[in-house]
Amino acid sequence: MAAHRTRAKASASPSSNGSSLNVVFVHPDLGIGGAERLVVDAAVALQSKGHSVRFLTAHHDPSHCFPETRDGTLEICVVGDWLPRSLGGRLHALFAYLRMIVCAVWLIGWSGWQYDVVFCDQVSACIPVLKWSGKPVIFYCHFPDMLLTQRASWLKRLYRAPIDWLEEWTTGKADCILVNSKFTDGIFEDTFHSLKGARRQVLYPSLHCSTFDRFQPADGRHAQLPTSADYVFLSVNRYERKKQVELAVAAFATLQHLLPCELTLHHGRKNAKIHLVIAGGYDERVPENREYHQDLVDLVEQLGLSGHVTFLRSIDNSEKLQLLHDCTALLYTPSGEHFGIVPLEAMYMRRPVVAVASGGPLETVRHGETGFLCDGTDETLQENFAEAMKKLVETEGLRDKMGTAAREHVVSNFSFNAFTTLLDNIVRKVATG
């Protein structure tokens, strides 16, 4: 089986107690997303504790990835990318399982690697294969995969039935199961009936804060933002329908009708302008990314917002930090999101968050203190988003007050040091039985 690698720089010294471990991360696609950000941070965290870390993945595109996976910080080995991602745009889950199984077979049969523990996430199908090596496996459950797809036809239900069973059975084979939030833990308990009562531990994603601390904002704003905009609202999500980015567009349209008079009266000037930026992961290989991006562009035109909305695709980390620096607030639109790392990033950058009151944001955003949590039906939800945005525009100093509280909240509850210590303890415990 062919493999190609990106070598890592020597970036960590052995731990003082001589108990450094060899850890292999197995991840399906090292692109740009919340799951990828978490496993990259986890690998960097373990390196900082003196452990030796390698990544095994079925796909890694140096032009569409986090910098630590291309600059030599982490060693990356790609296996199985010769397998297609789908067949005619279908059977994505089946091929994702096959690609991960190929990675696992290569690891135990051809790699020659010496390792003490395997950290696997997203796809559990490879866990029984990984267990053949006799080494313990940690599985990180971002969210049950069976809940991320629709079953509109009997054919789809027939196709998914064995895959769903396999997901549940193989998840239960892990030596340690981690979940990314209390919300996901509850969903896990309700979804995997045969695993009720299985021991799990919440490991919240964290921020590699030094990356943010090193950021130096550019003179002026991001190059694609209009200089005339007084208030910039930002949405950062992959171009996927489940992210509900159309909520940000609809709320922004509602805000446009709420603000003109109030802005003129409150600020004593005319033509104060509001702008929306929609940015996020975009992969040309993924039809949904292309189609959803076009749907959003069409929606903006239908609502008469052309010129007031900027679309950015596959932004790199420095661009994202610049946008967070430039914005008034982050709009976080997914419902039932497993955790959501972007709200933490915004709050660390001292920006309030307007989010849907469900899932992970209920555990990360403090309503009225670090941002606003909004609920309601489709129509009332966009109105509530718009009202929260209106408060941030109208209330003098509110953005800065909430932003300061948000930064303190992240530092106190989601620090990289706390994440590193907990993960190190988990890995050592699993490795030693």
Segment 170-186, tens digit of pLDDT: 999 999 999 999 999 99
- pLDDT > 50? residue 14: no
Query: What DSSP designation does 343 have?
Result: H
Is 180 found in the same domain as 304?
no
**Residue 222 confidence (pLDDT):** 81
Is 237 found in the same domain as 105?
no
pLDDT over 90, % of the chain = 67
**Residue 16 confidence (pLDDT):** 40
Q: What are the residues whose beta carbons fall under 8 Å from the beta carbon of 7, sequence distance 6 or more?
A: 72, 75
Q: Examine residue 32 and state whether it is found in any structural domain, yes or no.
A: yes
Is 242 found in the same domain as 152?
no
**Residue 1 confidence (pLDDT):** 66
Is 140 found in the same domain as 250?
no
CA 272, 277, 281: angle at the middle one, nearest 5? 175
Q: Examine residue 79 and state whether it is found in any structural domain, yes or no.
A: yes
Is 108 found in the same domain as 132?
yes
| Tally of domains in the chain | 2
**Residue 374 confidence (pLDDT):** 97
Is 137 found in the same domain as 45?
yes
- Rounded to the nearest 10 degrees, the angle between the axes of helix 287-302 and helix 245-258 is 10
- The SS3 call for residue 56 is strand
Is 245 found in the same domain as 148?
no
Please identify which residue in the block is written with the tokens 């203190």: 369
> Which helix (H) or strand (E) is 160 found in, with range?
helix 154-171
- Among 187-196, 209-218, 292-301, where is mean pLDDT lowest? 209-218
Q: How far is CA 427 from the centre of its chain?
A: 22
Mind listing the pLDDT tens digit for each residue in 123-174?
A: 999 999 999 999 999 999 999 999 888 888 999 999 899 999 999 999 999 9
Residue in 194, 129, 132, 198 with CA at minimum distance from that of residue 165:
194
Domain of 365, in residue numbers: 218-413
Is 339 found in the same domain as 245?
yes
Q: What are the residues whose beta carbons fall under 8 Å from the beta carbon of 417, sequence distance 6 or more?
A: none
Q: Examine residue 373 and state whether it is found in any structural domain, yes or no.
A: yes
pLDDT level of residue 15 (50, 70, 90 thresholds) = very low
> Which pairing describes strands 22-27 and 117-121: parallel, antiparallel, or unpaired?
parallel
Q: Examine residue 170 and state whether it is found in any structural domain, yes or no.
A: yes
What predicted TM-score, i.e. pTM, was given to this entire model? 0.78
Is 254 found in the same domain as 147?
no
**Residue 260 confidence (pLDDT):** 59
CATH number of the structural domain spanning residue 370: 3.40.50.2000
Q: Examine residue 379 and state whether it is found in any structural domain, yes or no.
A: yes
Is 19 found in the same domain as 162?
yes
Q: Examine residue 165 and state whether it is found in any structural domain, yes or no.
A: yes
Give the span between the Cα atoms of 88 and 92, in whole angstroms.
10
Give the span between the Cα atoms of 334 and 244, in whole angstroms.
5
Is 179 found in the same domain as 33?
yes
Is 140 found in the same domain as 66?
yes
Neighbouring C-beta atoms of residue 197, cutoff 10 Å? 6
- pLDDT > 70? residue 387: yes
